[in-house]
Structure 1
Amino acid sequence: MATLKTLLENLDVTVVRGRLELDITDVVYDSRKITKGCLFICIEGANFDGHSAAAQAVEQGAAALVVQRPVKVPEDAQVAIVQVESTRYAMAFISAAWFGHPAEKMKTIGITGTKGKTTSAYLVKSILENTGLKVGLIGTIEAIIGDKHIPAENTTPESYILQSYLAQMAEAGCDAVVMEVSSQALMQHRSQGFVFDFGIFTNIEPDHIGPNEHGSFEEYMRCKGMLFRQCRVGIANRDDSHWEQVMEGHTCRLETYGLSEEADLRAEGMRLTNRNGHLGVAFQVKGLMDFDAEIAMPGRFSVYNALTAIAICRHFGVPVEAVKKALREARVKGRIELVKVSDEFTLLIDYAHNAMALESLLTTLKEYDHGRLVCVFGCGGNRSRLRRYEMGEVSGRLADLTVITSDNPRFEEPQAIIDDIKTGIAKTDGKYIEICDRKEAIAYAIDNGQPGDIIVLAGKGHEDYQEIRGVKHPMDERVLIAQILKERGISF
C-alpha cells in the first residue's frame, strides 16, 4: 500500500478533484483488473482507450484515476482525479514508486539499435556473470530473473511490468540488469521512471516504419536518441553513419566504439576462424583496452556485438581473461546458434525472418571457406507477400541450395506461401527444392550434408512453436534436430 501523494511525487500533476492524502491498494492500467481502492491509469491504446472506462472504474471501487484529458464520472463519486500531460509517461514513474524504485538498487544497462540488441545483452550477462555478479535480463526472447525464465511478449514490456521485473530482480539479489530498449518502448515511455547507468546504441537502419510504428526514419532516430537523455554514460557505435544524429541533444557522458581509428574502443586485425565447424572471428581490442580476443560467432557484426559488451563490462572492472573466456563461449539462442550434427559440416539456427536480415546472414557466412551454403527457410502467413518474394530472391542469389519449407502459416495455406517464395527464387539461377514439413526439410538438409557445408535454418530462431490457424503448436528446431539424430542413431 502507498499514498497517492507518494506515487505522484516525481510528476507534474493537476488535481481535478479529491485529495492526494489517500491510501492506494493497487496500481492498475487494464480495465479488466480494476479492484476496490486501486489507482486506475487511463491509457490510450491502439484498440482501447482507458478513459472510456473511467466511470466503470469508479463503479468498481477505484480510489483514484490518472487521466490525460477530462473524463465523466458520477457527481457524487468518492474518487480522486489527477490529470497529467501523458498517462503513459506518468505510469512509468507511478510504477517505479509503487515497487519502491528497484532500479536504484542495481546497475542498469539499456541497449538500443536496429540489430545486435539481443546478442549484445546475452554477451554482457555472460561476461558479468563470469566475474561472480548476479545479472537479470529483459529482452526480445525472455526475461531472466535468477533461475526463472519468462517468455517475452514485447522486446521491452509495459512500464508496470518492467518495474515488477526490476523489483523481483532486486529481491533476488541481482547486482545488475541488462535490457533491450526498443524504439517503441522509448516512444511510449515504457523505460522511464529511472535513469540508466549505461545506455548503448548499436546501429540504425530504416526499419519499424509504418502506420502503427514510426512515421518516418527521422522519428525512428529521434526515439532511439531518447535513451541518451535518460542515462549517465552513453556508449555509441561510431561507425554507424547516423550515430551523431541519434546522439543529438544527449545529456550523458559519451564514449564510442567501432572499427574506425576515431573510436575510443576499437577492433583491429579481424580474421575469420573455423575450428572444427565452429565459425568465429579473432581480433585485437585497442584504445581504452588492449588485448587479443576471439568471439565464437561468425561475421563482422559479431565483432560489433563483442565490442558493445566489452565497452560496457569495462566499467565493471571485469578482468580481461573473464571477457576473453565469455566471448569464446558465446552462445545466444536463435542468433547464429551452432547445433552440432556432424564433424564434417556446420549447422546453424538463426532468427533472420526478413530479406535484410537474411542477406546480412548469408553474406556473412559466404565469407568463410566452405563447401555449399544451404539455406532452409519459410515465411509467415498473413504477412506481406513482398517479404516472401524478397527472401526467395535473396536466398536464390546467395545460397547454393535453398530448401523451401513452412514457417508460421497462420491462416494461409503453406503451399501458397511456398509458391510466393518460388516466385522470388525464379528471378535468380538458384537451385531449390520444396519440402513443406519443416522437420522433413531439416532432415533432408542433414542427411544430404557434404563436407565443408554450412547449413542455416532461418526464420524461427528462438521461437519454439508453429502457428497454424490461430493455434501455437510446440515446435523447437533443436528438438526436431535431436529427434532426427536419434532416429539415425547419431549422438554428440
Structure 2
Amino acid sequence: MLHVTELLKDWPCTVTGGQLWSQVTGITERAATVEKGFIFVARKGKRQNGANYIEEAIRRGAIAIVVDRPSLSELPVDVPIITVPDCSKFISHASARLAGDPSERLTVIAVTGTNGKTTVTHFIGQLLARVGIRCAVIGTIGVFIDGCQVEYECPEMTTLPSEYLHPLLAYCESLGVTHVVLEASSIGLANSRLAHCHIDIGLLLNIGQDHYEEHGGRAAYIAAKQRLLHQANAVVVNQDDEQCRLMAEASGRPAVHFGITSMIGSSTDSILRELAIPGDYNKMNAIAAVSALIVLGYSENDIVPHIRTLELPEGRLQRLEQDGIQVYIDYAHTPDALEAVLQTLSTRCYGKLITVFGCGGERDKGKRAEMGELAVRYSSLVFITSDNPRNEDPALIVEDIKEGFGGDCSTVEAVLDRKDAIRQAIFRAAPGDIVLIAGKGHEKYQQTATGVLPFSDVVEAERALSEKTHEGKAEETRGK
C-alpha cells in the first residue's frame, strides 16, 4: 500500500486542494468500482466522460481525483485534484506500482496482429507447459494457467485495462507462474494499457483490416500496433507480411524474423510435418509460437516433439459432426481471417460448403462488402445474419455486406435472426457438407440495441444438429 505522494513521485503533475498523505487502496477509471481509499481517474473516453462521475466517486470513498484537462482542476470538491498530461498513462503507471510491479519479475510475451493472437498465445502457452514452465495466458477468451481456465473477476476484453492487468499479474505470480503470454490489441496499445508492463518479447503476426474506424484510419491502427515494437526488449516479426516487415524497419529496432519458408536457425519442415491442425494460417501460427520459444533460449529439439500436441483454443475451427455433416465454429471476423478459414474448409469439403456470417455493428463498415464477396466466392450457399449489431440496424449491415456481390445472388439468403440462420443452414446440409458459422467463435453473448443477450454459436449448432437428427428419425418412422 502506497501514499498518494509516492505514486506522484517523479510524475509530472499539478495538485489543487486537499491532502496527499492518504494511503491508496486502489485506482480505477470506473466510478462504480470505487471503494474507500481509491484514486478515481476521470478519463474522457469515446462514449463516457469520467468528469461526469467525479461526485459519485467521491461519495463512494475516492481520496483523490486524477484529470488531464486543466479546466477541471478548480472543481469545488474536498479531495485533491491531480492534473497529469495523460490519464491513460498515469493509471498504467499507478496500477503497476500498486500491484508491486509484477511484470518486472515475470517473463512477459505480448502478441499483436490483426488475426491469430488468441491461437498463437495459446500455442505458446501449451509449448511452455510441455517444457516444464508454469505459464499463464491472458486474452480474448479468458485467463488460463497451465492450460486450465481460472475464474478471475475482470472485463471480457482482449487486452485488459491496467487497473485489472497488474493485479492479475501479481495473482499469477503468487501461484508460481513465471511466464505470461498476453494478447496486445490495437485498442489496448493505443490506450496505453501496456505502457508500464515490462515486455520481454513482442510478437507481430500480421496487419489486416480491422478497427480502422475506431482508430481514425489505417495509419493510426498501424501506429498503435507499432507501439509494441518500441516497448518490447526483443521483437519477433512475420517476414511473410510486407507491412510487418516495413513496421520492423521503421522501428529501428533489431528484429528476429519468422515465416513459412524460413525460421530462426533452420527450415520449418519438421514443424509443419508434426502439426496436426488444418490450415496454412495455423502453420504460420505454430511457427510464430515456436519462434517465441527459440528467442527464450529453447532449441528446436526441445520444441518439435510437442508440436503434434498443439490444440486450437475454443471457437477457432471448433468442430462438431453428426450424421455425416460437419459444422465448424470460428471467430473469423475480418476479411483475411474469413478467407483463410474458407480456403481451408473448401479443400476438405466433398459436398457443399455452407457459410453463416454477419458483421459487427459500429465497426469497420469498409470490410463488410469484402467479406460478402469472399463468402459467395467460396461457398455453395451463404446465410447472411446478425453478428453483434450493437446500435446499428442489422438489416442495414446486411445491405452493406450484399454490396460485395452486387446486391442479389441466388446462393445468398438473408436471415437476420442468427439462431434461425444457423438452424436453416444445418437443416439444408446433407452428409458430406460442411457448415461454417463465422464471426463470434467462443462468444457467449450477442450485443444488440436492446442489450447484451445470452447467445452461443456452439450451443445453437448443437441444438440444430440434434433437432435435425430427431426429425430425420421421425420421418423414417413415419415412412415405415
TM range (shorter): 0.7 to 0.9
Task: Tell me: CA distance 1:74–1:180, structure 2 relative to 1, closer, same or farther (3 Å).
Answer: closer
Task: Tell me: CA distance 1:471–1:171, structure 2 relative to 1, closer, same or farther (3 Å).
Answer: same
SS at match of 1:371: coil
Do 1:44 and 1:50's aligned partners in 2 also have CA atoms closer than 8 Å? yes
Instruction: Report the counterpart of residue 314 of structure 2 in structure 1.
Output: 333
Is 1:102 aligned to residue 102 of structure 2? yes
Instruction: Report the counterpart of residue 214 of structure 1 in structure 2.
Output: 215
Distance (whole Å) between structure 2 residues aligned to residue 365 and residue 396 of structure 1: 14
Deviation at 1:179, TM superposition (A): 0.8
Query: What is the aligned residue count?
Result: 465
For residues 380-414 of structure 1, give each alpha carbon's deviation from its aligned partner in whole angstroms, at most 9, with x where no partner exists: 56777776554333222221222445544667776
Instruction: Report the counterpart of residue 305 of structure 1 in structure 2.
Output: 285
Instruction: Report the counterpart of residue 257 of structure 1 in structure 2.
Output: 258
Do 1:376 and 1:456's aligned partners in 2 also have CA atoms closer than 8 Å? yes
Do 1:347 and 1:456's aligned partners in 2 also have CA atoms closer than 8 Å? yes
Distance (whole Å) between structure 2 residues aligned to residue 53 and residue 475 of structure 1: 32
For residues 338-382 of structure 1, give each alpha carbon's deviation from its aligned partner in whole angstroms, at most 9, with x where no partner exists: 22335x554311122344433333234334574332212344567
Distance (whole Å) between structure 2 residues aligned to residue 186 and residue 351 of structure 1: 21
Deviation at 1:161, TM superposition (A): 1.3
Task: Tell me: CA distance 1:108–1:83, structure 2 relative to 1, closer, same or farther (3 Å).
Answer: same
Q: 1:377 aligns with which of 357, 360, 371?
A: 357
Task: Tell me: CA distance 1:30–1:476, structure 2 relative to 1, closer, same or farther (3 Å).
Answer: closer
Deviation at 1:178, TM superposition (A): 1.0
Deviation at 1:109, TM superposition (A): 0.9
Distance (whole Å) between structure 2 residues aligned to residue 21 and residue 467 of structure 1: 44
Task: Tell me: CA distance 1:446–1:249, structure 2 relative to 1, closer, same or farther (3 Å).
Answer: closer
Do 2:328 and 2:437's aligned partners in 1 also have CA atoms closer than 8 Å? yes
Q: TM-score, normalised by structure 1?
A: 0.80
Is 1:228 aligned to residue 229 of structure 2? yes
Task: Tell me: CA distance 1:393–1:20, structure 2 relative to 1, closer, same or farther (3 Å).
Answer: same
Task: Tell me: CA distance 1:127–1:149, structure 2 relative to 1, closer, same or farther (3 Å).
Answer: farther
Distance (whole Å) between structure 1 residues aligned to residue 449 and residue 319 of structure 2: 31
Instruction: Report the counterpart of residue 274 of structure 1 in structure 2.
Output: none
Do 2:110 and 2:184's aligned partners in 1 also have CA atoms closer than 8 Å? yes
Distance (whole Å) between structure 1 residues aligned to residue 155 and residue 35 of structure 2: 26
SS at match of 1:308: helix
Of the structure 1 ranges 156-165 and 474-483, higher mean CA displacement relative to structure 2 is found in: 474-483
Distance (whole Å) between structure 2 residues aligned to residue 409 and residue 81 of structure 1: 39
Deviation at 1:124, TM superposition (A): 1.2
Which amino acid is 2:140 matched to? T
Instruction: Report the counterpart of residue 121 of structure 1 in structure 2.
Output: 121
Task: Tell me: CA distance 1:15–1:351, structure 2 relative to 1, closer, same or farther (3 Å).
Answer: same
Is 1:479 aligned to residue 479 of structure 2? no
Is 1:174 aligned to residue 177 of structure 2? yes
Of the structure 1 ranges 389-398 and 440-449, higher mean CA displacement relative to structure 2 is found in: 440-449
Distance (whole Å) between structure 1 residues aligned to residue 365 and residue 243 of structure 2: 30
Which stretches in structure 1 are left out of the alignment for 5+ residues?
Answer: 269-283, 286-290
Higher share in helix: 2
Q: 1:205 aligns with which of 194, 205, 208?
A: 208
Do 2:131 and 2:302's aligned partners in 1 also have CA atoms closer than 8 Å? no
Deviation at 1:310, TM superposition (A): 0.5
Of the structure 1 ranges 10-19 and 63-72, higher mean CA displacement relative to structure 2 is found in: 10-19
Instruction: Report the counterpart of residue 281 of structure 1 in structure 2.
Output: none
Of the structure 1 ranges 19-28 and 80-89, higher mean CA displacement relative to structure 2 is found in: 19-28
Do 1:397 and 1:429's aligned partners in 2 also have CA atoms closer than 8 Å? no
Distance (whole Å) between structure 2 residues aligned to residue 195 and residue 19 of structure 1: 32
Is 1:193 aligned to residue 196 of structure 2? yes
SS at match of 2:27: strand
Higher share in strand: 1
SS at match of 2:172: helix
Deviation at 1:468, TM superposition (A): 5.1
Instruction: Report the counterpart of residue 47 of structure 2 in structure 1.
Output: 47
SS at match of 2:228: helix
Q: List aligned pairs for 1:422-441, cutoff 5 A.
A: 424-425=404-405, 431-433=411-413, 438-439=418-419, 441=421
Q: TM-score, normalised by structure 2?
A: 0.82
Instruction: Report the counterpart of residue 271 of structure 1 in structure 2.
Output: none
Of the structure 1 ranges 182-191 and 378-387, higher mean CA displacement relative to structure 2 is found in: 378-387
Task: Tell me: CA distance 1:353–1:90, structure 2 relative to 1, closer, same or farther (3 Å).
Answer: same
Task: Tell me: CA distance 1:320–1:6, structure 2 relative to 1, closer, same or farther (3 Å).
Answer: farther
Deviation at 1:309, TM superposition (A): 0.6
Distance (whole Å) between structure 2 residues aligned to residue 384 and residue 485 of structure 1: 33
Instruction: Report the counterpart of residue 478 of structure 2 in structure 1.
Output: none
Q: 1:463 aligns with which of 421, 432, 443?
A: 443
Deviation at 1:33, TM superposition (A): 4.2
Deviation at 1:44, TM superposition (A): 2.3
Which amino acid is 2:286 matched to? A
Of the structure 1 ranges 228-237 and 151-160, higher mean CA displacement relative to structure 2 is found in: 151-160
Deviation at 1:184, TM superposition (A): 1.8
Deviation at 1:94, TM superposition (A): 0.5
Deviation at 1:316, TM superposition (A): 5.6
Of the structure 1 ranges 186-195 and 350-359, higher mean CA displacement relative to structure 2 is found in: 350-359
Do 2:320 and 2:462's aligned partners in 1 also have CA atoms closer than 8 Å? no
Percent of aligned pairs with the same residue? 32
Distance (whole Å) between structure 1 residues aligned to residue 391 and residue 75 of structure 2: 45
* CA RMSD between the two structures: 3.6
Distance (whole Å) between structure 2 residues aligned to residue 61 and residue 439 of structure 1: 45
Q: 2:374 aligns with which of 394, 418, 426?
A: 394
Task: Tell me: CA distance 1:207–1:458, structure 2 relative to 1, closer, same or farther (3 Å).
Answer: closer
Do 1:293 and 1:324's aligned partners in 2 also have CA atoms closer than 8 Å? no
Q: List aligned pairs for 1:347-358, cutoff 5 A.
A: 347-358=327-338
Instruction: Report the counterpart of residue 343 of structure 2 in structure 1.
Output: 363
Distance (whole Å) between structure 2 residues aligned to residue 455 and residue 205 of structure 1: 25
Deviation at 1:113, TM superposition (A): 1.2
Instruction: Report the counterpart of residue 30 of structure 2 in structure 1.
Output: 30
Distance (whole Å) between structure 2 residues aligned to residue 249 and residue 412 of structure 1: 38
Task: Tell me: CA distance 1:468–1:132, structure 2 relative to 1, closer, same or farther (3 Å).
Answer: same
Of the structure 1 ranges 53-62 and 359-368, higher mean CA displacement relative to structure 2 is found in: 53-62
Q: List aligned pairs for 1:288-299, cutoff 5 A.
A: 293-299=273-279
Deviation at 1:163, TM superposition (A): 1.2
For residues 256-307 of structure 1, give each alpha carbon's deviation from its aligned partner in whole angstroms, at most 9, with x where no partner exists: 111355x536765xxxxxxxxxxxxxxx15xxxxx55433333222121111
SS at match of 2:109: strand
Do 2:16 and 2:74's aligned partners in 1 also have CA atoms closer than 8 Å? no
Instruction: Report the counterpart of residue 148 of structure 1 in structure 2.
Output: 150
SS at match of 1:340: strand
Which amino acid is 2:438 matched to? A
Distance (whole Å) between structure 2 residues aligned to residue 454 and residue 120 of structure 1: 25
Structure number with the bigger relative contact order (C-alpha 8 A, sep ≥ 6) is 2
Deviation at 1:450, TM superposition (A): 4.7
Deviation at 1:119, TM superposition (A): 1.2
Deviation at 1:8, TM superposition (A): 3.4
Instruction: Report the counterpart of residue 2 of structure 1 in structure 2.
Output: 2
Deviation at 1:38, TM superposition (A): 3.0
Deviation at 1:453, TM superposition (A): 3.4
Distance (whole Å) between structure 2 residues aligned to residue 13 and residue 436 of structure 1: 51
Deviation at 1:136, TM superposition (A): 1.8
